[in-house]
Amino acid sequence: MSNNPLICYSLRKRPDWATFASAVLQGSNIRWKEAQLDTHDAALPIPTSHGQPPRVLRAIFLSPSDVETDNCQNRIQRLSHLNGGQDIVIVFLLKQEEDKVNPMSAFMTLQLSLGDFEMPVIPVNTVEAVPNSLVAFHRQISTSSGSRRMANPAQTLLPYCSYGPRLSEHAVNVLTDITSGIRDLLDIMTTPVGRTKVLDLLENDSEGAISFWEQEYVVE
């Protein structure tokens, strides 16, 4: 494999990601190259010590309209099977699409749909933010001697899971402390017992937090 990070030619044909190639090929200090990548959208070689097997960080790019489609699930499954589920990541574009589901709700749905596929998800607000986010994650797993998985990024979105003002730092810390992940958070926000707990703990932030889940996230 090339020592340069690679992006897939097919991104030019996907409306949400069509500008990515020009963003990295023209506006980056890193020499990205385009290639045919059958199972993923980007590949970044990871430095290894002499004698160690080569490592490559592989990523797929998803947007809200991809979530819950058969193709999305197939791509996630293929990604999880690469290298035993290590050195992989999903990049999720938080893009509001006309007459479509709220992007944060789509992000939550994606997290829930992963099920037993334990893989990190990087949320980004714009296509232009992807290169730096990927390089930062690449640097993290390159220098880490422990786990190659990134902490659940859902905490990054928690401040915005509110109707009205953003949740306070205190509210985010409380929700993080009383939940163990997206599924646990969903259970608390959509059950009578959980909502009572949120009302007691969040006080002024409780109404906005509960309203978000009532109006933006439909539990089937």
Domain ranges of the chain: 6-143, 154-216
Continuous segment of H or E residues that includes residue 167? none
- Token pair listed for 11: 């991104």
SS3 call for 209 = helix
Specify the pLDDT at position 28.
61
User: Which tens digits make up the pLDDT trace of 137-171?
Assistant: 888 888 764 444 444 455 566 777 777 777 888 88
Residues of the chain with pLDDT below 50 are 1, 145-152, 218-220
Predicted structure pTM score? 0.72
Say if domain 6-143 classifies as CATH 3.40.50.10130.
yes
- What is the pLDDT, as a whole number, of residue 27? 59
| pLDDT of res. 40 | 93
Q: 18: helix, coil or strand?
A: coil
Residues 32-61 have pLDDT tens digits of 888 999 889 999 998 877 767 788 999 999
Tell me the residue type at 78: R
d(CA 3, CA 164): 47
pLDDT confidence of residue 62:
94
